[in-house]
Structure 1
Amino acid sequence: MTLAPQRADHASTKPQGINPRLRVTSDEPRPQRAALTGTGRPNPAAHLSPDDIEGIGHELDALRQEVMDSRGDRDAAYIRKVIRTQRYLEMGSRALLLFSNVKVKGFRPAWWLGTAGLSVSKILENMEIGHNVMHGQWDWMRDPKIHSTAWEWDNASPASQWKHSHNEIHHTFTNVLGRDNDLGYGILRVDEDQPWSLFYLFQPIWHVGNALVFEYSIAAYDLELGGYLAKRERMSEEEKATFRANRNEVLQKIKRQATKDYVVHPALSAVSGSSRTTLTANVVANLVRNLWTNTVIICGHFPPGISTFEKTSIDGETRGEWYLRQMLGSGNISGTKAMHVITGNLSHQIEHHLFPDMPSNRYAEIAPRIRDLMQRNDLPYVTGSLWKQAASVYLKVVQLSLPNKVEGERRRDVVRRELGKAWRSKKLGRRY
């Protein structure tokens, strides 16, 4: 689990526990932040002195302690209610799908209701329950059934691999170029500071395809499949054996998931002649869950106004600087209470990145105080409706599929030049 402050009262899900890089203060004086980033963009935190940033850290430490000290019966009741609701919704929806082939005036009401209910059930299980339980948000309850070390979610990615790539890597190195692989998941260019190549010309297609099969994309990402394919010739036998073991774990998880959704439940519907319609309902529910999850995640990480950071910027990083990076590297989604629940409260992405182990039902409570803190320190609090944020990301994906604008050179000329280089390289390779 990745946490910001060092918290002795929290039971970590990993032996190493808290990220050891994070300290209350630095051993050496921290430099004033530059007015511009390495690529010449304005630095939104340039006006803050090291003392200002340390003060922000202390204020956030105090806020966190206040909330964590007040955890109790109402929080436990909340997560148990959500889990109970999700399970009843799933059971009811699957019961309806036993009769999904029954038509009423040419309409299949059981299919539509069952598919809708199953879709919402899967979203709740993945986002408000699975994601947050595996962050250790409910470990303080000491309930072995709702604990980060025991939870296995309804998803293609095994919990252990997801916790490593998400809790330990992403939440530690949020938006650090070259360290946080969640920045485009290795297939998308979502920031101008990411180098451009011809591969990204097709990223609007990758983006839609990735959203449709998101659970499998995340499984491949957590497995670090791309890194293995790129480095396998240089890997030791021990590293290859580790990869094979992880690969087999993923394949077994996918097999279990596919058997449940695409074999067992359709077979149970055979008595009413609803096998085919139950199968299509499960396919649609998984697609809906994938699209929704992908949309919520991109809205929290990639809209305009969210900052990225260079590797060198986190050298000697203090806790206050880590907090600052989380605030600048995340964005929120505005909406109703129901919308917050169905997003797993990741509509409060800023608050979640600040306090990933805080119970998710508390994010809405602290959001006004976080916003006030950021406004007092003249920091941008990025937020907007789901549709606004999602549309801005899709537009960004299209724009960044092309190289950055350079004065005196058209982007299409850059693309043509790179295409020419690739063609010549290919011809030369054929010749030899």
Structure 2
Amino acid sequence: MAITDIRAFAHLTEADIEALGRELDQIRADIERSLGQRDADYIRRVIRVHRGLEATARLLLCASRYRAPRMAGILMLAAAKIIEMMELGHNISHGQWDWMNDPEIHSTNWEWDFIGPSAHWKRSHNYVHHTYTNVYGLDEDLSFVVLRMTRDEPWRPVHLIQPVVSLVVAAGFEWAIAVHDWALERRHTGVHRGQRRSQPNIEFARKIASQVGKDFLLFPALSRRGFRRTLAANASALLLRNLWSYVVIMCGHFPDGAEKFTIEQLEGETRGEWYLRQLLGTANFTARPVLAFLSGNLCYQIEHHLFPDLPSNRYPEIAERVRALCDKYDLPYTTGSLTGQFWLAYRTVWKLALPDLLLHRTSDDAAETRSERKFSGISLASSGSSWQAIDPITGTRRGLRTALAADSSRRLADHGRGRWFQRRWIASITGQR
């Protein structure tokens, strides 16, 4: 099962974790003190870029009858919607720019260009997901729709189709998130599914009418004879936005190394342990500035989960300091290429479509689901036994990275011994030496 004791898993003492928490608090304080005009200029510049892209794209799609301008319009509209969702809607709704006290760019006022109401999303994402990141039984992203992303989720026959379901979710990612958030909003407010005129239902219906009316009726109608072409173009732009956002989210939460936790881990959880859970439960992918911008800087998912309300344009500099802390405390900093991280996440989708009895490893030492019990052959830092927190030769701290390397070496040695015994057994029955 998932991690129940984060100290044992991380091979850090309570004092280490609290020291890590204080250093992360210091990073927050430093960034907050340095916020100023350049940050305000950044977000206002992003808004201008987004609006310029969308206006140009709408003009091309409504006015042009030729294929090349229309293709350019589709790509520009997709880019505009990606920017609005990832760098604007997502980050503004987190309160990253509330310090500016600008009513237009405030988390309480911004309504994003998305099928689900911002208020629903903020409750399910900002509160539930970011508070209980990867805690099985509380963070429902671990079993999104019917996707099984950890072995803690009991296998059901419906999971056999999750490789296909995941493609449907990717294509309709906007709708999948909106319905997910709507369900959580009803549950939180105690509204029964049959109460059709409840507040969550009314809010959701109004937002659907607004979005569908804008993208599938108003703008296609403005193109007059090109209604169908503009309708198809708008749908294509939305599809591209959905696929891209699905890829980004998968890369940040489900590749190997993004750990899962049990509810027991929350009992008495300190600020330092919360930080550590965010660091271990998320993953980054490498990206140059343009790719980072189009991901809403969620290529820095680790930094985002550590500091969800700090401006996203500061994540690159925060990442340098977080990496240094990971080196100091011997913790892994999970990252990789975009394609590599997505492949690991999607491999988990395929792998966990199968029942556990058909899978190798166990729920304690699998690549996508592991716990402190995977180190049963290694003395843990919290056990007070032979594990030495400080390397006696180099004098450096020994934590999770060292423990993972030791476990890997042990497995390789066991594999080598297994191959040796296998060869001896084959030789004995064939009469060979």
TM class by shorter chain equals 0.7 to 0.9
Partner of 1:22: none
Determine if the alignment matches structure 1 residue 185 to structure 2 residue 136.
no
- Match for 1:52 among 8, 16, 26? 16
1:173 is the counterpart of 2:127:
no
Cα 1:407–1:204, aligned 2, differ >3 Å: closer, same or farther? closer
* 8 Å CA contact 2:147, 2:162 repeated in 1: yes
Which has the higher mean CA deviation after the structures are superposed, 203-212 or 187-196? 187-196
* 2:353 counterpart of 1:401: yes
Cα offset, 1:199, TM superposition: 1.4
Distance 1:237 1:373, change over 3 A: closer
Deviations 1:107-127 (A, max 9, x none): x11210100000000000000
The alpha carbon displacement at 1:192 in A equals 2.0
- Whether 1:344 aligns to 2:296 is yes
Aligned-residue CA RMSD (Å):
2.5
Residue aligning to 1:292 = 244
2:331 pairs with 1:367: no
C-alpha distance in structure 2 between counterparts of 1:175 and 1:298, whole Å: 13
Q: 2:257 aligns with which of 285, 305, 319?
A: 305
Match of 2:32 in 1: 68
Residues 1:209 and 2:168 are matched in the alignment: yes
Distance, in Å, in 2 between the alignment partners of 1:71 and 1:240 is: 47
Conserved? CA contact 2:124–2:184, under 8 Å = no
The list of structure 1 runs, each at least 4 consecutive aligned residues, that deviate by more than 4 angstroms after superposition, is: 36-39, 41-44, 225-228, 235-243, 406-409
CA deviation after TM superposition for structure 1 residue 44, in Å? 7.6
Residue in structure 2 matched with residue 263 of structure 1 by the alignment: 217
Question: Structure 1: how far apart are the matches of 2:327 and 2:352?
Answer: 29
SS of the counterpart of 1:285?
helix
Instruction: Please say if residues 99 and 110 of structure 1, whose CA atoms lie closer than 8 Å, have aligned partners that are also in contact.
Output: no
Opposite residue 38 of structure 2, the aligned amino acid is R
- Find the partner of 2:235 among 260, 267, 283: 283
In the alignment, what sits opposite 1:141? 100
How far apart, in 1, do the equivalents of 2:96 and 2:359 lie? 49
Distance in 2, Cα, partners of 1:407 & 1:99:
55
Alignment partners' CA distance in 2, 1:227 and 1:236: 6
Q: What are the ranges of 5 or more consecutive residues in structure 2 without an aligned counterpart?
A: 362-433
Q: Distance in 2 between matches of 1:94 and 1:243?
A: 35
C-alpha distance 407-386 of structure 1, shift in aligned 2 (>3 A): closer
Relative to 1, partners in 2 of residues 1:337 and 1:243: Cα closer, same or farther, differing over 3 Å? farther
Identity %: 47
From 74, 83, 99, the equivalent of 1:124 is 83
Q: 1:45, CA displacement in angstroms?
A: 3.4
Give the paired residue count: 361
In the alignment, which of 42, 45, 49 is matched to residue 85 of structure 1?
A: 49
| 1:97 matched to 2:61 | yes
Point out the structure with the larger helix share.
2
> Is contact 1:57–1:320 with CA below 8 Å preserved after alignment?
yes
TM-superposed CA distance for 1:93, in Å, is 0.6
Cα gap change, 1:376/1:44 in structure 2, threshold over 3 Å: closer, same or farther? farther
CA–CA distance in 1 between the matches of 2:126 and 2:185? Answer: 20
Higher gyration radius (CA)? 2
1:316 and 2:268 correspond: yes
Could you say which residue in structure 2 is the equivalent of 1:222? 181
Q: Shift of residue 245 of structure 1?
A: 2.1
The answer on whether the counterparts of 1:97 and 1:269 sit within 8 Å (CA) in structure 2 is yes
Does the aligned pair in 1 maintain the 2:186–2:192 contact within 8 Å? Answer: no
**Contact 1:327/1:350 (<8 A) preserved:** yes
Point out which structure has higher relative CO (alpha carbons under 8 A, 6+ apart). 2
TM-score (norm 2): 0.79
